[in-house]
Amino acid sequence: MPTYKAPLRDMKFLLNEVFNYPRHYQSLSNGENATPDIVDAILGECARFCEEVLSPLYQSGDEEGCKLENGEVTTPKGYKEAYQQYVTGGWQGLSAPEEVGGQGLPASIGLFKQEMMGTANWSFSMYPGLSLGAMNTIQLHGSEEQIATYLVPLTEGRWGGTMCLTEPQCGTDLGQVRTKAEPQADGSYKVTGTKIFISSGDHDLTENIVHIVLARLPDAPKGTRGISLFIVPKFLPDGNGGVGERNGVSCGSLEKKMGIKASATCVMNFDGATGFLIGPENEGLNCMFTFMNTARIGTAIQGVGPAELSYQWALEYARERRSMRALSGKKDPQHAADALIHHADVRRMLLTQKAVAEGGRAMLYYAARLADHMVAGHLEGDDKKAAAYDDKLGFLTPILKGFLTELGYESANLGMQVFGGHGYIREHGMEQIVRDTRIATLYEGTTGIQALDLLGRKVLLMTQGGAVREFTLKIANFARKQLTDKRMRPFALELLKLTAQWNLLTVRIMLAARKDRDLVSAAANDFLMFSGYVTMAYMWARMAAVAVDKLDNGGNDAAEFYNAKLATAEFYYDRLLPRAQAHATSMLSPTRNLMQLEADHMAFTA
């Protein structure tokens, strides 16, 4: 199995030359310590940890999986030791406030860390990743006592965290949640119910696990308006920063899954467990969205990560494996056949992976700047600033999660295809990437749910198309500035057409949906994918513009690096971006072709 190599050159290209993170950090109230030297040191040390510690556990963890014995979950061999190194390195508190034991660095630095960890070993990265969401929720919505009790051990990594939403009778439709929370005389609650699909629900990596649980108070309103949020620890805190008696929380079973087998996905039973209300009564879903947005951005990494990992392994294989002769003539005459990389169709697959990995990384890093400003707004007590950047990020979140995970899964399959029959064999690791990546389009809201959130909620209901107009104006202003350079003109002209089309499509759907409410659901997936392709086109144009400038004026890397960026941008625009037009055509198709067939006539089996 090939090993993971952190793409530091590409990461630094985005950080220093495309998005100018050094200047960005200087503009943040919590960015003073994020100097270029510090950031470089963090990236380098994280790369070493991922390459030398996490990557070697990727395949062995899949082979062994997690085990449930006598009510306790154990992780695969090597995971406890790796997690201890993670804790010792202070990685969990990288972006947490200093007053709770963190390093106080901007949120984006934590995302760069998550990308490398997730690419090297997604199953491992989920354990600390779920804790980050719990930390954010408690920090923003917890009382002073809750922050003092839970945030320090979570920041140190001694305790882990989860989110407990889904139940057997409901998935995304959380209005059907049945878990009950009965108030007690001491101000606590007794939480009773069953939650399913709980990542990191139980494990042996931390001394305690803090569950963030959705439940209903007695006489709460029906539906989503009657859901509250609770902190339910595995062990009750002892008041001195340690753990006390065992709470009424247990793992009923481990899910038998297609992939991410080294990540413990649990059925969790709450049997009169002691819980503590976090946030206002019946507003748990609003508080949980802090957690969900964090989780969805994190899940978007699982689109970029597998594209990168599968590309690295497929590229190495394509350089070494020989089959037939290239149609344009012998490329390796000293051998009986040419390397796979000389065949145009193999190049198509490899370049698709490369374009998705690097374009997706740019989308993440673009969004990370918005997240930095949002967090800074919260830290400064500037609710207006935090809300403004939350809205900007909220528009991009479903695009990042939905589009990138769909293309990440496609890229993982392409890597397996490059290997041919060997890709189907477990020892080469390619089929594991496919299995592990499949979940990314499902959890934290399926692609369909992300699409409805984007079109139905963010675009139509909340902004009446304003979110699209604001973002496309930014793209169009960038594109106009590129028209004077003949190398950039093709990219710029295409972007200008696409921004106009994006707005026109939005208006047409908005008008048509007044007469046909099914149209929003029918068009949503195509609208999301169209939005994703245009957003990635914007990122590739920005990278191309920097490459052109550095080729003319000199940059941090060799000319070959910048020429490769330009070539990949051209590939994306010529080969992948045309897919957007198919989505544009499909989203305006009448709903009749979806809804006219009677449900009872979908199949005739008798």
Q: Which two tokens stand for residue 475?
A: 């793209």
**How far apart are alpha carbons 136 and 586 in whole angstroms?**
39
Are the C-beta atoms of 428 and 437 separated by less than 8 Å? no
Radius of gyration of the chain (CA): 24
Nearest to 153 by CA among 73, 210, 211, 230: 210
Q: Ramachandran region of residue 149, left (φ > 0), alpha (ψ -120 to 50) or beta?
A: alpha
Burial of 215 (0-12, 13-18, 19+ CB in 10 A): buried
**How far apart are alpha carbons 504 and 531 in whole angstroms?**
13
Q: What is the largest CA-CA distance in the chain?
A: 84
Q: Are strands 189-199 and 265-277 parallel, antiparallel or unpaired?
A: antiparallel
Angle between helices 518-553 and 466-481 (to 10 degrees): 20
Q: CB neighbours (10 Å) of residue 536?
A: 25
**How far apart are alpha carbons 247 and 236 in whole angstroms?**
6
- Sequence-distant (6+) residues with CB within 8 A of 346 are 318, 340, 418
**How far apart are alpha carbons 128 and 134 in whole angstroms?**
10
**How far apart are alpha carbons 445 and 172 in whole angstroms?**
7
Q: Which two tokens stand for residue 254?
A: 């481990």
Q: Which of 115, 308, 406, 444 is catalytic?
A: 444
The DSSP call for residue 220 is: P
Are the C-beta atoms of 162 and 210 separated by less than 8 Å? yes
Read out DSSP for 435-499? HHHHGGGTTTS-HHHHHHIIIIIIIIITTTTHHHHHHHHHHHHHHHHTTTSTTTHHHHHHHHHHH
Q: Catalytic: 444? A: yes
- Sequence-distant (6+) residues with CB within 8 A of 34 are 21, 25, 28, 105, 106, 109
**Which residues have a catalytic role annotated?**
444
